[in-house]
Chains A and B, each alone.
Chain A
Amino acid sequence: MTRRDLLSAGDLSHTDAVEILDTAERLDRALAGREVKKLPPLRGRTVVNLFYEDSTRTRTSFELAAKRLSADVVNFTAKGSSVSKGESLKDTALTLEAMGADAVVIRHSYSGAAHRLAGWVHGSVINAGDGTHEHPTQALLDAFTMRRRLRGGTGDLAGLRVSVVGDVLHSRVARSNVLLLATLGADVTLVAPPTLLPVGVEEWPARTSFDLDVELPDSDVVMMLRVQRERMAASYFPSAREYARRYGLDARRMAMLRDQSIVMHPGPMNRGMEIAAEVADDPKRSTIVEQVTNGVSVRMAVLYLLLGGGDSE
């Protein structure tokens, strides 16, 4: 991979995407069962986690990934920083760069924040979620999880049938997943009420459907999206109960799935809303815990491939 930044899942070619997944698989196996979970390739490199939005798993996942590759990690959260004194994103970025950051991992509530940042700093920029736009490393870890569970951990996802269900409108996870899954050859169906599908969805490389019960029997993967109430100013559906009845994945619906099919959720979950507790905790189908574990390996691969080689300048 020759690029410097990871801003959109759509920027990745088929070769890039498979290279990241292969590298993640190798790194994961290199560390499996080891007492010292540490590899040396990013020694002396500095990775800054620049988080303007709350996050548990993504921030800790990036931090762990960078540390396992021996990088120095600086965690920056907007709360308790100069941002509360009114410092702009650009000034913050330039300050961090002046301190010698080789990579900036950014999470921001504005779509496009990562792109802007990439134009201002010399180091690598990794988009860890920008508004309702993209979250490419989530898409990569989801693809990694699907590949491991259903494709033996090699190659691409040609012909895999994936249903992405729920709040597509506010979901950067859905957008990044659709782009990456299409690159990897999967057939994606977006299942949502019409009010939760974005304008222009017909341009996406995916089919749309309003009826979950029709899609389930044909799905290899069911990816449930979190209903993002914090981003909802208006009401997009009559009530939580009504939503759960039509688009929630409960035990009855899970029984409609084929034997090997898996259930995914990017977390954090609204149990009882988009996913029932017994589905989320199902030991055979649910990959929710695995997704978190795989996230560290995939982020290690991204950091290694972006930073492990020589200086790009």
Chain B
Amino acid sequence: MPGPALTPNVPSATVLDAHDLARTVDRIAHQIIERTAKSDVPAALVGIPTRGVPLARRLADRVRAFDGPDIPIGSLDTTLYRDDLRLRGVRPLAETIEPRGGISGRLVILVDDVLFSGRTIRAALDAIRDLGRPSAVQLAVLIDRGHRQLPIRADYVGKNLPTSVDQNVRVMLSEIDGSDAVLLTGALGPEGDSE
């Protein structure tokens, strides 16, 4: 189904609409409840800016709505830990807020919108090491689009989306973008044989 074109001549397709996105978040919330119920280690949801932060907040809200535990949320800026800082030039920093009670001894669930090369997550793991020692770290992502460059995988995946490297996955969240949707742009076909 064709979505709104973001730039002229670049086709774009809606992968998830607002309704799908809400259902996907609900499903991840259920999985978090299920997997954290077995353990007595308290969890914390830590979003990676920009869009991981509102996603973490939504997950915490939904977990509570489904009678799950009250999970504290935080945000973790990875900019200073990126391995491409020198290649891409100085970037503005985002906010790091430790979840209430800190992260040491906790199950930290990192939250991001799209899992791609895995480099952001590697940077996040390094940043976590400087903040404390969680008892375990898990990863929740809305979209896994493949093309990993590091041995990193997600524990909770909203949707596996096969893409080609030159395609662009754009997650829109109402807190930041005014509406909820996931768009795939530069798409000729979903299976990476564009050009």
Using a CB–CB distance below 8 Å, which chain A residues touch chain B? 1, 19, 22-23, 26-27, 29-30, 33-36, 38-41, 304-305, 308-311
Contact = CB atoms under 8 A, between A and B. Distances in A.
Which interface residue of A33, A38, A308 has the most chain B CB atoms within 10 A? Answer: A308
Contacts of A38: 130
A34 B131 contact: yes
Interface of B: 77, 80-81, 85-98, 126, 130-132
A36 B130 contact: yes
A26 B95 contact: yes
Contacts of A1: 90
Nearest to A307: B90
B96 A30 contact: yes
B81 A309 contact: no
A154 B90 CA distance: 20
A-B interface, 10 closest residue pairs, ranked by CB to CB distance from nearest: A309-B90, A309-B89, A26-B93, A41-B80, A30-B96, A308-B90, A310-B86, A39-B80, A310-B89, A36-B130
Nearest to B82: A41
Contacts of A23: 92-93
Contacts, number: 49
B88 A309 contact: yes
B86 A311 contact: yes
Given A34-B131, A40-B126, A309-B86, 5 more contacts: A27-B93, A30-B77, A41-B85, A305-B90, A309-B85
A30 B88 contact: no
A13 to B, nearest CB: 15
Nearest to A27: B93
Contacts of B96: 26, 29-30
A47 B140 CA distance: 39
Contacts of B95: 26, 29
Contacts of B94: 26
Nearest to B87: A310
Contacts of A27: 93
B92 A30 contact: no
Nearest to A306: B90
Contacts of A26: 77, 93-96
A278 B137 CA distance: 52
Contacts of B80: 30, 39-41, 304, 308
A310 B92 contact: no
Contacts of B86: 309-311
A39 B126 CA distance: 10
Nearest to B131: A34
Contacts of B92: 19, 22-23
B21 to A, nearest CB: 29
6 contacts: A23-B93, A27-B93, A30-B93, A30-B96, A33-B98, A310-B86
Nearest to B83: A40
A1 B81 CA distance: 19
